[in-house]
Amino acid sequence: MRVAIDTNILAYAEGIGDTARRDVAMELLSRLSPESVLIPVQVLGELFRVLTGKAGCTPDEARTRVLQWADSFEVGDSTWSAFQSAFDLTADHSLQIWDALILAVTAENHCRLLLTEDMQHGFTWRGVTVVNPYCIPRHPLLSSILL
């Protein structure tokens, strides 16, 4: 099963936020099969912004860290059809445009799960289920894929 990762998971893994969330993010990323993980390119852009803002990294440091994530997992590009779907998600389901784009790219890349805190836990669209990995108990789909 393919899984997409949202910005907040990577930001926590980078040590931004509390240690409990960092530990969960690191556990998830270490237990998921690397070939099953997708990072939408929008996520990498947002991570760069978070690293240069909240984390106080220089642009050079942030670039290096973002490129390390891109080297570790497949990156999903934003297409025009993904943007069109994102517009629909924003209009029909009141998602923020950038969250909607991440969900649309996730669906285009045949992922079954999107791990994020930023959308409604359990929401399913085009076969993608949004899962908040910090919810207890864990969503059954997430539990089923952890190595």
Q: Tell me which residue range forms the domain holding 118.
A: 3-145
Give me the number of domains the chain comprises: 1
pLDDT tens digits, one per residue of 25-65: 999 999 999 999 999 999 999 999 999 999 999 999 999 99
Structure token pair of residue 47: 């991570």
pTM for this entry: 0.94
Averaged pLDDT for residues 77-96 = 97
Q: pLDDT band at 146, cuts 50/70/90? A: confident
Q: pLDDT band at 147, cuts 50/70/90? A: low
Long-range contacts of 53-57 (CB under 8 A, 24+ apart): 54/11, 54/16, 55/14, 55/15, 55/16
Residue 43's pLDDT is 98
Q: What percentage of the chain has pLDDT greater than the value 90?
A: 97
Q: What is the CATH number of the domain that holds 75?
A: 3.40.50.1010
Q: pLDDT band at 119, cuts 50/70/90? A: very high
Give the CA diameter of the chain.
39
Residue 60's pLDDT is 98
Q: What pairs with residue 130 in β-bridges?
A: 114
Averaged pLDDT for residues 66-88 = 98
Give the per-residue SS3 of 86-105.
HHHHHHHHCCCHHHHHHHHH
Q: What is the mean pLDDT of the chain?
A: 96
